Structures are given as structure tokens and as C-alpha cells.
Amino acid sequence: MSSVVWATYKRAYRNAIKSECKIGYQKNYTPDEKHERTVQMALNDNSLTRDEKLAVIKMLNKDYDCFKIRSNEGTKRICENCHDECLATLYCEHCVQNYLKKNFSNWSSKNDDIDNLIQKCQMETFTPDSIVEWIPYDNLQGVNYLTEGGYSKIYTAIWIGGRYNEWDSKEKQLTRLGNHHVILKELDNVENADRRWFEESKSHLTISSKWEGVAQCFGLTKNPTSKNIMLVMIRMVTDLRTYLKQYHNDLTWNKRIQIAFDIIDGIDSIHREKAIHRDLHSGNILLEYNQSFCISDLGFCGPVDKPLNSVYGNLPYIAPEVITSNGEKYTYASDIYSIGILLWEISSGQPPFADFDYNYDLAMKIVEEMRPIIISETIPLEYEKLMKQCWNADLTKRPDASTLWSKIRNLSFQNYQFESQKLNNSIDLISKNYTSSTYQFKNFPEPKNATEEEQEAFHSKPYSFNIPYTSKYF
């Protein structure tokens, strides 16, 4: 897919949303009308060739098919093959699911729990290119160790044949994309996972196949040497931490707010599905090849057999109530706290609390509502307000994901005056380990909001611009 087509596709969506913001209160468009307006914007783009317009429209139609099935609304049609009513126009969702069901007997992981997990995911398939499947390890070539992050080893590989791509209505079968690169994430001790782990995994795999803001997982395979289960995931360009390290001094506020919007769009999708991420940090916010950021590691970020009364995560991003409860109070609001820290990181270009060791003392300071000092002089006021609301020690005062999505979306259309402003603070990055870990803390007070004097005392020492950093992702 050419960069021109991707750019136009994103621009059509952005302009449609912007138009809706301006006139949405004057007229309530139906989903079909909104889609038609978006398609028309692509058709009216004179910078595109005819073939490029067709490619953009196909992408828009595919997304709209997914939306209709996900929300169960929109114009239906009668499938010419199975004669059932279906919502999709590029394929029939019933034909795809029936095809997958008939194929159940042709594959097996040799583990009934994993087979059931994948089969359940396939029966909730929304689009042909987002099907979760069991992938024989022999279909993966050029497997190379890349790095290790948290409790997982990461590998690169080429998937021979590749993922499913489209439904061939004439041949009545799914077709594949062809060979492509993937990331393999090895999971330890899945054989001993309990029922809850499999239920959460099913939810998380389904979410990754339904929403663009969540990194896609193609399925599972098994390392024949270690016997460990491996996630087969989409390959990305880089993570947010690496991206900020490389481009911080060149980013305008328009771009920073767009990055924030991408992340918030992803967490909003996760929360809509009644799921909680539990380990959001800049190492698992990944840049796609279409230049959008998405959330990774949903549900697969920690050890399968995490000890009771323990906290798994990247300490600067862990909400204070999670610390004081030793991991018993993970809520939607704890994810929002992590978003607040990410908003600060996007504005500053620095990992939070870079000058501190990740230990009991830092955990106590977080509980006492010590937050990273705001170092950008050009930060938009509304952005700063959202950031502070997100990291409030009182979780009831944090906005929910839907509210946050609306506010950051509106801000993205109001900040044009910041387009030429870049941050002046140059930063020099050095290396430090920034992976998630398991913590066990005791005898913590209840979280509280710090006074201005306490915040000043916390930040009284000079704030170093030598930013510790190392990427633990790809």
C-alpha cells in the first residue's frame, strides 16, 4: 500500500470527523450517511489517481463493514451464497465463519484449551484479515532472536503464506496475503495457566482483531524447542519511547496531540470491550507502518503465574491505588492514570521519573501524589488540564476513556496555532532498563493529593535532562 493512499485514507477520516464536530449538533447523520460523506471526500481528492481512489475507497468500505458488524447496525443485504442476511458488503460474515468452522478438524495445537480459545475467537470474526488462528511453527521461517522484555523473549520471523486477507465469493474460500514479516512473543508457563487466563486471553485476542487502535495478533504457535506457546503478532516500526528519543526535538504540538489521540482511541476501544490493560507504558505503544500508534501487550504483558498480592507493571505508570492494594484495585481508572503519565512523556520527550530508581521510595512518592514536573513552556492549557485530571490521586476524579477521547479529539482540531511551535529543550539520552517488573509492597498509606509545597520539595533538586533509556521492544 503506497504512502499516498495511506495518507489520503487517514485524511478522509480526519476531515469527516472534523466536519462532524462542526455540524454534528445541527444534523444527526446515520452511519450510512457518514460513510458516504467520507467516501465522497476521497473521491473529491484531485491529488489521487483513479487507482489510488479505488484503493482508498476499498479501505474505507472494509472499515465500515467492520463497524456495521461490530455495532450490529447499518443496511443489510442477502448473501448470494448462503442466502442469510449480512451486514458486510465486501464479504459475508456468515460465510467466513462457516468456512472457519468447517476447517476446525484440519488443525490442532494438541492442547484442548488452546484449540477452544482459537475456535471461540474465530466464531467472533469481524473481517477476513483479522482472523486469529493456530499457526504451525513450520510455516515460520528465518526465526531470529531479537530481544527480551519483561517475562517474554521476542523473535522476528517470516510467515510463509501469511494471514488471511480476503473472502473470495466466487471460490467460496478465504485467500491469504502471502509471505510477510511477523513478531513472535514467547509466553512462559501457559501449560499451567488457569481458566481465568484463557478467558481473558480470548477477550484480548478478540479485541485486537476488532479495533485498529490495538496491535493485531494473528494467532498462536508453539516453539518446538522450549515447548512454550508464542504469540504471532504484526510487525511494527518502533515503540513510542524510541520514537520520542529520535524525534522529540522536531515534533510540533499538532503531532504530539495526534499521538495522544491515537493512544486514547486505543484505550477507549479496550474499555468499550469491558477490558483493562493493566500495563500501559511507552514501551508497548507501537508505531504502525501507516504512521499511527497503537496499544500492544493487551493481556499478555506479565507472567502467567503472577504471585498473589503483587503488582506487575512499569512503576512510574502504575496508579497509586494499584500500588497500595498490591494489584487488587486494577480498574478502568488505573489505565487512565497511565494515560496521564504518557501525556506527560509525549510533552516532555522523557521517560517519567528518569532520575529515580524503581523501588519502594519511588512507589511511596507516587502514592503521595508526586508527579513528573511539567517542563514544556508551550504546552496547550487544555492538554495540561487533561494530563493532571488523568493522574489525579482520587480515581473518581479521573475522566473515563470516552470523555477523554472526546476532549482530545476536539483539542486536535483547535491546536492549529501550535503547528509551527516546537519544543526548545534539547535532551540527551543515556541507557537504563525500562521494562515492567513484579512488585510486592506493604504498609502503604492511602493515596492523596500533594500540596504545592510538597510538590516543590519533591522537585527541589535540579531536573536532569540526561534521560535514561533503553528499548525493550522491537
* Grid cell at residue 248: 522529540
Q: Are residues 243 and 222 in the same domain?
A: no
The CATH number covering residue 251 comes to: 1.10.510.10
d(CA 312, CA 300): 12
* Beta carbons of 159 and 230 less than 8 angstroms apart: no
| pLDDT value at residue 469 | 31
Bridge partners, residue 219, by sequence = 133, 232
Q: Are residues 217 and 245 in the same domain?
A: no
Q: Are residues 257 and 381 in the same domain?
A: yes
| pLDDT value at residue 52 | 86
Structural domain contains residue 322 = yes
* Grid cell at residue 85: 442476511
Structural domain contains residue 41 = yes
Region of 438 (left: φ > 0; alpha: ψ -120 to 50; beta: rest) is beta
The CATH number covering residue 216 comes to: 3.30.200.20
CA atoms within 13 A on the CB side of 468: 12
Burial of 112 (0-12, 13-18, 19+ CB in 10 A): exposed
- Domain-terminating residue out of 183, 208, 234: 234
- Name the residue with higher pLDDT: 212 or 326: 212
Q: Are residues 192 and 291 in the same domain?
A: no
Overall size of the chain counted in residues:
474
Q: Are residues 228 and 243 in the same domain?
A: no
What secondary structure, in 3-state letters, does the chain show?
A: CCHHHHHHHHHHHHHHHHHHHHHCCCCCCCHHHHHHHHHHHHHCCCCCCHHHHHHHHHHHHHHHHHHHHHHCCCCCEECCCCCCEECCCCCCHHHHHHHHHHCHHHCCCCCHHHHHHHHHHHCCCCCHHHCCEECCHHHEEEEEEEEEECCEEEEEEEECCCCEEEEECCCCEEEECCCEEEEEEEECCHHHCCHHHHHHHHHHHHHHHHCCCECCEEEEEECCCCCCEEEEEECCCEEHHHHHHHHHHHCEHHHHHHHHHHHHHHHHHHHHCCCCCCCCCCCCEEECCCCCEEECCCCCCCCCCCCCCCEEECHHHCCHHHHHCCCCCCCHHHHHHHHHHHHHHHHHCCCCCCCCCCCHHHHHHHHCCCCCCCCCCCCCHHHHHHHHHHCCCCHHHCCCHHHHHHHHHHHHCCCHHHCCCECCCCCEEECCCCCCEEECCCCCCCCCCCCHHHHHHHCCCCCCCEEECCCCCC
> Domain containing 98: what range?
92-234
pLDDT at 441 over 90: no
Instruction: Give the count of domains, the chain.
Output: 3
* Beta carbons of 56 and 15 less than 8 angstroms apart: no
d(CA 232, CA 243): 23
Q: pLDDT of 395-423, one tens digit each?
A: 999 999 999 999 999 898 775 455 545 55
pLDDT (mean) for 320-347: 92
Structural domain contains residue 80 = no
pLDDT at 327 over 50: yes
Q: Are residues 402 and 336 in the same domain?
A: yes
* Beta carbons of 213 and 266 less than 8 angstroms apart: yes
* Grid cell at residue 24: 454534528
Looking at 40-44, 166-170, 428-432, which range is the least confident one? 428-432
Q: Are residues 198 and 250 in the same domain?
A: no
Structural domain contains residue 358 = yes
Q: pLDDT of 50-94, one tens digit each?
A: 988 898 899 899 999 999 999 999 899 999 999 999 999 999 999
Structural domain contains residue 474 = no
* Beta carbons of 331 and 278 less than 8 angstroms apart: no
Region of 12 (left: φ > 0; alpha: ψ -120 to 50; beta: rest) is alpha
pLDDT at 463 over 50: no
d(CA 162, CA 176): 6
Q: Are residues 213 and 258 in the same domain?
A: no
Residue 466's pLDDT band, with cuts at 50, 70 and 90, is very low
Residue at grid coordinates 490493560: 277
| pLDDT value at residue 395 | 95
d(CA 360, CA 444): 10
Structural domain contains residue 146 = yes
- Domain-terminating residue out of 180, 213, 234: 234
Look up residue 453 and give its amino acid: E
Q: Are residues 291 and 303 in the same domain?
A: yes
| pLDDT value at residue 169 | 93
Structural domain contains residue 84 = no
Whole-angstrom CA distances from 259 to 278, 306, 320, 453 are 20, 32, 25, 33
- Name the residue with higher pLDDT: 371 or 306: 371
pLDDT at 464 over 50: no
350: number of Cβ within 10 Å = 26
Structural domain contains residue 473 = no
Q: Are residues 223 and 270 in the same domain?
A: no
- Name the residue with higher pLDDT: 368 or 166: 166
Find, among 307, 310, 308, 304, the residue nearest to 326 by Cα.
310
| pLDDT value at residue 306 | 55
Q: Are residues 221 and 264 in the same domain?
A: no
Task: Kindly report the backbone phi and psi dihedral angles of residue 471, in degrees, each rounded to the nearest multiple of 5, phi listed first.
Answer: -85, 130
Q: Are residues 120 and 14 in the same domain?
A: no
- Domain-terminating residue out of 49, 75, 101: 75
